[in-house]
Structure 1
Amino acid sequence: MRKLVFFAFFITYCTILTAQIQDNYSPFDDGKLLRDKIQNPIANMLSVPVSYHLYLGDRNTNIIYFEPIIPITIFKKWQVITKTVIPLMNIPTRSGYKNGLGNVKFISTITSAKKKGFSWGFGPAIMFPAVKEILGNNKLSIGPSIIALKQTNGLTYGLAVQNYFSIVGSHTKPDVNILEAQIMVSQNFLDHWYVYTNPHITVNWNAISNKQWSVPLGVGIGKLIPNRYLPINLKAGVYKFVSHPTNADWLVQAQATFIINSK
């Protein structure tokens, strides 16, 4: 509990300390600039994030994520933001390391086409069975997805939540009831630099009590590289697990997002 309180105090202090050094922001720009859009998962932006996650423990786990994000306008005032999460996994097992495709997730969010400082959305999320049983859950699962975030003067903070429930699969396989929540906090600096924390918290409600929660705490730094043809957002962070169902102690992340189109 002390770690959680200290971490919350640290983030709050850094946010207040750096809030005075923003450049060229006005209330009319909140959420509209590209440096804001890269912090907003439901911005009207066609992009392809590619990330690498290294879970450090007695035996390390390696995962590469491809996460294409596609905005689709459905009405004049509304759009659907689709995100597909494709994990390529390398995980330790009793018989050695196993490689393959994990649970592919498809998340669609209905949101307003006109973004301001506050963004919100909702929609269905689908989790497909893993190709190999050892690499993930083995039932088709669906559930609700919601997101809300605020952007003001270079500061972004918000929350995205999904909960998956199994609907189809062998009765010999465990049922799925998994909550995934991502906390989003970032602060922009000069020259397109920013600091952020995006802990991805998961809860397996069907697991035994001491194996339910995965909670990382940490911080990262990133930079937007503007380019007329293909802007790129680069970031990297380090997280310490305060709770994890396996023996993982640390998580190291690195991500490159290729921005194909932003409106």
Structure 2
Amino acid sequence: MAKITLALSAAAALAFSVSASSAQESGNDLAKQLSNPVASLISVPFQFNYDSGYGPEDGNRTTVNIQPVVPISLNDEWNLISRTIVPVIWQDDIAGSSGRQSGLGDITQSFFFSPKEPTASGLIWGAGPVFLLPTATDDLLGAGQFGIGPTAVVLKQSGGWTYGGLANHIWSVAGEGDRPDISVSFLQPFLSFTTANAWTFGLNTESSYDWKNDQWSVPINLQVSKLVTFGAQPVSFTAGARYWAESPENGPEGWGVRLAVTMLYPK
């Protein structure tokens, strides 16, 4: 009986060890997929951002970006990745003594046509259109213009490393006649490392250049994420800091904060 009990205990310990190892590997893989903007993975991030230093009144803005990513299989070789950014904004004196505004900002909708398999050299890429939708509920929360343009992403994943870049350019093609036209380029080079136990350390910029006003916005983001599982539900938690290396006149200055919770729905 003692030998049987010992054997059963050893088998249980081995099964637990294999299960834990498998779960860790699964978590590591999901965490790496989160670093890939065109991964075949449904995710719903809720991203909190706080920035200050706007204008002469030292205004501030809090933005919660709801950013669902939905991959759609087109055939055996191609995916269509839908990436949506829905900003919900609270701001105070961002344009001098402009008071407080809150509500929905302009929605950005991107579509990437992306091969399901990397290239022979390991490159992952996607390209397609991007749209700016004038959904803001207040003039100071959006541009009042409908915009369209191209977007593309290219990256490589090797070991725990992910590096690459995402870019788009949006021109306004319709909108309110008394609002200025838009011609803005967005550049997001990124670098991250994911550990075996699903920690991810990332560095990126989310820079934009306003061609109409000849102005750069260059926030540098440093963040750390951890993927955990609640029952069968994987969730990623992110915390980070942002430094505004360059911003438009009366734009944000100094340091900002980013926090995020991302729900994952692997196939």
Q: TM over 0.5, yes or no?
A: yes
SS in 1 for 2:212: coil
Structure 1 residue 165: Cα displacement? 0.4
Unaligned runs of 5+ residues in structure 1 are 1-23
Change (3 A) 1:115 1:44: farther
Residues 187-232 of structure 1 show CA distances to partners (whole Å, capped at 9, x for unaligned) of 122421121012211111111x4xx111122421111114562101
Does residue 263 of structure 2 align to residue 258 of structure 1? Answer: yes
Change (3 A) 1:56 1:172: closer
Q: Distance in 1 between matches of 2:231 and 2:208?
A: 38
Q: Distance in 2 between matches of 1:247 and 1:190?
A: 37
Q: Distance in 2 between matches of 1:51 and 1:196?
A: 15
Does residue 224 of structure 2 align to residue 221 of structure 1? Answer: yes
Task: Trace 1:26-41 onto structure 2 (pairs within 5 A).
Answer: 33-41=29-37
SS in 2 for 1:36: helix
SS in 2 for 1:173: coil
Task: Trace 1:13-92 onto structure 2 (pairs within 5 A).
Answer: 33-57=29-53, 58-92=58-92
Residues 19-55 of structure 1 show CA distances to partners (whole Å, capped at 9, x for unaligned) of xxxxx9xxxx9xx922210111110001100010000
Residue 114 of structure 1: which of 97, 114, 117 is its match? 117
SS in 2 for 1:60: strand
1:11 is aligned to: none
Q: Distance in 2 between matches of 1:247 and 1:162?
A: 22
| Contact residue 43 and residue 115 of structure 1 kept, 8 A | no
* Aligned residue type for 2:259: A
Structure 1 residue 102: Cα displacement? 0.7
Task: Trace 1:89-168 onto structure 2 (pairs within 5 A).
Answer: 89-93=89-93, 94-115=97-118, 117-129=122-134, 130-168=136-174
Change (3 A) 1:228 1:150: farther
* Aligned residue type for 1:216: P
Q: Distance in 2 between matches of 1:95 and 1:59?
A: 9
Q: TM-score, normalization: structure 1?
A: 0.82
Q: Distance in 1 between matches of 2:176 and 2:234?
A: 45
Q: TM-score, normalization: structure 2?
A: 0.81
Does residue 205 of structure 2 align to residue 199 of structure 1? Answer: yes
Q: State, as a whole percentage, how many aligned pairs show the same letter.
A: 28
User: RMSD of the TM alignment (CA)?
Assistant: 1.9
Q: Distance in 2 between matches of 1:131 and 1:75?
A: 39
Shift >6 Å, 4+ stretches: none
Unaligned runs of 5+ residues in structure 2 are 1-20
Residues 74-111 of structure 1 show CA distances to partners (whole Å, capped at 9, x for unaligned) of 12110100011100011223231110111101100000
